[in-house]
Structure 1
Amino acid sequence: MVAVTRETDRLRERMDHHLDRLLERETEKLAFLGEDLEVLREVLPGFVRAGGKRLRPAFVYWGHRAAGGSPDDEAVLAAGCAVELVHASALILDDVMDEAGTRRGRPTVHLTMAGHHRARGWWGSAGRFGESTAILFGLLAYTWADAALLHCGPRLPAALEVFTQLRGEVIGGQYLDLAHAARRRGDVAEAGRISTYKSGKYTVERPLHLGHAVAGGHPRLRAVLSAYALPLGEAFQLRDDVLGVYGDPSVTGKPAGADLRQGKHTRLTAVARERAGAYGAALLDNVCGEDDVEAARALITATGALEAAEERIGDLVARAVAALGAGGVPDEAVTGLAELADLAARRIA
């Protein structure tokens, strides 16, 4: 296990180096922005570099290794960078949609750009400028993801097919999340569907499939990777839901209780609603201030929804790791994927 941990650490160093070169290369292509290039360089590449555990690129890498890919293959680093840039794009745009104040312990991109506008005394609404430029920066990160993928080697068509599916699913999942928050209704099954497409598939399953595609893996192996990925993706999102309600902002880098205030529909809140009845639903539908957040947390705990979530996370991780025993996955990749399962589902931020 120690050897695999070291390999994962080395992967992050290699990925960051590859990402740095890509960001510098693509930023230089925008030299026509003149004096505005520096603010873009500081904000967007700075956001990509500053945070995150490079978890999705790690799944790309181990999907590649599971399919027989070489640890020295530069193509898998390119594919990992592509996924990381889509993730950065999704976070920037998600923060605009959620009107979030902080991300990774810093002001969100739209608030940073609003501050840039305000500090210079520019004309018009600083808030509108901040949101508009954040959307553009999110789209730019999305575009740079394609630039990264172009360097993933001779299996680009297969990789692009998976990558396109990944992006379509996360956008569809985000729409479901917004629509169900607006409707203020939904059950546990619906919460599961949202989490699968908003987070689970694009965090675990599709990155694994992308690595598999870059390596030219056997089609049968994809089914094994999916059997591992789908329960783990659900566990990852469920942990994210728990952190969204109970997490320490100084550790998670974003405000606690924000999902409750926005009426986000998660399995955690769906179970609490079912168990608490009309009173619980009314409480969860009207979370505004900090007192409301505390009352909602107390309700979720009292109904046993938090305990049920922790139990389910454990069961899902066990199912994921057990699926790797179906055969066809090299021993080192089994160990690496088991370690990633623990990291993804039991993280504190």
Structure 2
Amino acid sequence: MFSTLNQGIVYALGTGWWWSLPPEWPCMTGNPGMCASTIDSDIDGIPDMFEAMLGLNKSSADSDGDGLLDYTEMSVCNSNPGDSDTDNDLVPDDVEVASHSNPTMIDSDGDLLTDFDEIVVHHSSPILVDTDGDGADDYVEVISYHTNASLRDTDGDGLSDGQEILGYLGYVTNALDPDTDNDTLLDGLEITIYHSDPTSLDGDQDGLSDRDEALHHNTDPMKVDTDGDGLSDYMEIDIHSDPRDLFSPIGWIIVACLTTVIVLGMVARATTRKKKAAAAVIEARNKERQRIVTLEQHVEKMIKKYAARSMRKFTLGPIKRDWELGSRYTFKEIEMVLDQRVTRGLLQKSAAKDSIEDQEYIIST
């Protein structure tokens, strides 16, 4: 269905499609009755006949009383001139138009927050996904972190909510707490000025809080040993040395002392090892001597028993078996002890045999 509006504007009902025709077109159709369609009682630009067809008030230029002219709603806003809240989002069309949102859409910017939530509740922009431009979407700020979507830095710590929430600067901090680790240093100062960890009281774990290092000692809160002299900042401060001076006298004295202690300890350990090694050699020699002495004692007893039995001749084989010396002494060791007695004239040795076991000895009378 088509209808002709004032000033030669034609509107296609149900389509929102407008186009212009000459003002005299209604009376040129050959149907003089259509000339009545140009009557506009409220002078709102929409003929009375057409307003009646749409259920609008022909006596009021703003049928729904939303502050927007019916003609403006139909031709510019594409909203319903008979409904003050076209999209039923609880925000009047005139408020949406003033906020630059779409009065026909519940969520104009598609950020998952309704225009009502953004305009009335959170005071954020209904047409911007990230109202404050901090890098965090309005929905994320409002729903997940409860920050102010229209304020770049909710907690006023010098870091934008996006930097805190998304960790753009290397640390994820609390966007609602200006001092995440409660060390009395603002998160923004820790990251940008002192270069410390805003999530830890002691970023370098050296025993000194980041606050003390930054404000009192002027040391690096992210280095255990600021001057690199081998002593931690905590130790240097404890002994009243300068943790920022590589050539701090006290520091070098301590280093020298520690080095001396280490060297002396190494020397002492080396000396101890040498003494233990020498003692082990002596002990082994003593054990060997004692072993031979024991063998000599066995041989002496054996010779006496043989002499008492008038057994003047014997061989090495039976000696090992009879005296159970086989597991502890070799034939060579037994022969050595017997040969000592041969030398002293206590024994005589027969001619060499093919087998050492058959070697004969004779007890001298």
Structure holding more strand per residue:
2
Q: Which one has more relative contact order, counting CA pairs under 8 Å at least 6 apart?
A: 1
Which TM-score bucket, shorter chain as reference? under 0.3
TM-score computed with the length of structure 1 as normaliser: 0.20
Structure holding more helix per residue:
1
Mark the structure with the bigger radius of gyration. Answer: 2
TM-score computed with the length of structure 2 as normaliser: 0.19
